Amino acid sequence: MTEREARNHILEEVRRYAAEFHQKKPWDGQRVPYAGRVYDEEEMVNLVDAALEFWLTAGRYTAAFEEAFARWLGVGDCVFVNSGSSANLLAFMALTSPLLGERRVCPGDEVITVAAGFPTTVAPMVQYGAVPVFVDITLPTYNVDVSALEEARTERTKAVMLAHTLGNPFDLEAVCTFCEKHGLWLIEDNCDALGALYQGRKTGTFGHLATSSFYPPHHMTTGEGGAVYTSDPLLSKILRSLRDWGRDCTCAPGEDGRCRHRFDRQYGALPLGYDHKYVYSHFGYNLKATDLQAAVGLAQLEKLPEFICLRRKHFDYLRRELSPLAEKVILPEPQKGSEPSWFGFLLTCRKKGERERAVRALEERGIQTRPLFAGNLILHPCFDRLRREKTGWRQVGELPVTNRVLEDTFWVGVAPILDEAQMYYLASCLKDVLGGGRK
């Protein structure tokens, strides 16, 4: 038996194993998760195929995934990394590169963002020494209040970094116009919105940089994993340098001499001819993902359009079923001109104190709920020192809507893992608990 024949035999057995033992189990009638993995034998076959090669780190599957994902988005380049949080770190730190000259973000420079979201949209700013400037959000879109952008800007403002909240695009026309007017960088945190459209164009393609997460609850998964993408060649070069230890050379790991200048140039104060593979133009990281993850991602990417359609279908079902509850809860609305790729279904209780009661009742019935991530990040322990010292961040106004979301908002799932019976049960429980329908 040849190596190829042996591999094909193993993969066929994996396919049979997955079909037999990894089929989705019938719903137990008790628990409705907010999200979960959706996969079949294709992911397992790809995963084992990559394992049999035993390359382990980034290799041919990574290159194929980066190319396919960039093509699906319609961007120039995609850089695969080990998590969505690493993607946000990498995207932000790219803007601090000396290669950007006067436009680089330096310590003390300001970045406009919101506090109602996930912490790793903001963490890289604080860790680097930039100053996050928090503006409020609006209901019922849960996205940035664009009317506050001008007030937030100062001479130190260099960038805007915002997430599309739970798959609902923020007002990209207003934000892009603001950034263009003042020469600011824009980073789209697209981690919860993969496949969302704004004026017919995919989110993640408007900013200078954008990020995705492939953690299991997201629109597609590689287990751990994420991506940064851009159509700017210089930013692409910076991203790959920072991801790969900060090195200057663009040859892939294990590849020598593609640039044809490995030993014949001068870099910095190094001796002439120093090995270019070990020249470092940035203080970088190792944020690479593995071929095992990329192999799963390639199979998931084929299913992504179907996943997005199911998320929209589930959202629309809940919106119809819960419309009689509009006097009790604020129902989510898409941003004008957008077609969201929903990550969840947000609900804001109109009555103070009602959120806690509703969440407890839903959880008792097996319905997984989540708050809008940090709610108001400024109030978390990670900001204790900054609050005491009254330094390191600014906010525009008292952020009343952000604080309301902190107190009164929760969300439930619309993930493709849910079937019709689960969605019916979810809607029935919501109507009963929130007071608008039968149990």
Catalytic residues: 218
Please give the torsion angle defined by the CA atoms of residues 185, 187, 188 and 191, in that order, rounded to the nearest 10 degrees.
180
45: number of Cβ within 10 Å = 20
Retrieve residue 363's tokens: 């959880």
Q: Where on the phi/psi map is residue 142: left (φ > 0), alpha (ψ -120 to 50), or beta? A: left
CA distance 297 to 305: 14
CA distance 292 to 310: 27
CB-CB contact of 411 with 372 (8 Å): yes
CA distance 222 to 231: 23
Residue 124: φ, ψ to 5° = -60, -35
- Residue 237: CB partners within 8 Å, gap ≥ 6? 99, 250
CA distance 308 to 306: 5
CB-CB contact of 140 with 330 (8 Å): yes
Retrieve residue 388's tokens: 């005491």
Q: How many residues does the chain have?
A: 439
Retrieve residue 73's tokens: 């988005």
Write out the DSSP string of 28-49. Answer: -SS-B-S------HHHHHHHHH
